[in-house]
Amino acid sequence: MGFHVRKTEVITAAYATAKYLDTLSPRSCCISLKKPGMEEFRHFCHDVENPEYIVMGDYRDGFNFHNMNTALKLLQRGSKFIVMISQIVDNSMGEVELTVGAYGKMLEEAANVKATYIGKPNKLIFEMTLKTMDVERNSVLMVGDRVSSDIRGAKNAGIKSVLVKTGEFKESDLAGDVRPDHIVDSISEIKKLF
């Protein structure tokens, strides 16, 4: 894409969730996540039978009848619940599909528990990212294609935002209560703003 980014500069929902979990010093956890993100959680004690925390990430085909019912029973027995992403639908793979937040919200309601959500638009992931940067908050510009996560998250964190009308953007997104500071048709137009 033409951006020069080091791996250490990328903060994913899995990374942010693992860092948040570190602050809790959990006795044990059960991580529902595909392999690529599991590396972030290797140093935790994993327990699928009596975890202190259930952590739900992008589990894809693991969101099945057996696993969801197992999670429900663990939550009803007292496990605490952390969900990496609050979005309920996603189009990034080409077609609309349910994503992490849908399963998280379903289990919240079924088990009558409250989950902690880490990823956008949660302020926590923005604050964590800002701590890694040596710049003032008012010098940061959040660029995103989703009003519900990118722009709302920037607003929650007090960061200026630019909505790019590409990718996940839908014109109906502009009908809501969250407004970006700037709207552009292409990422190449951002430099014209300043």
Boundaries of every domain in the chain: 7-117, 135-193
Confirm or reject CATH 3.40.50.410 for domain 7-117, answering yes or no. no
How many secondary structure helices (H) and strands (E) does the chain include?
6, 9
Q: Measured between alpha carbons, how far is 25 from 132 in angstroms, rounded to an integer?
A: 22
Domains 7-117 and 135-193 share a fold: yes
CATH architecture of 135-193: 3-Layer(aba) Sandwich (3.40)
Token look-up 């970006």 returns: 180
Reading the chain (194 residues) residue by residue, the pLDDT tens digits are: 677 888 878 889 999 999 999 999 999 999 999 888 899 999 999 999 999 999 999 999 999 999 999 999 999 999 999 999 999 988 777 788 999 999 999 999 999 999 999 999 999 999 989 988 888 889 999 999 999 999 999 999 999 999 999 888 889 989 989 999 999 999 889 888 87
Q: Measured between alpha carbons, how far is 59 from 138 in angstroms, rounded to an integer?
A: 36
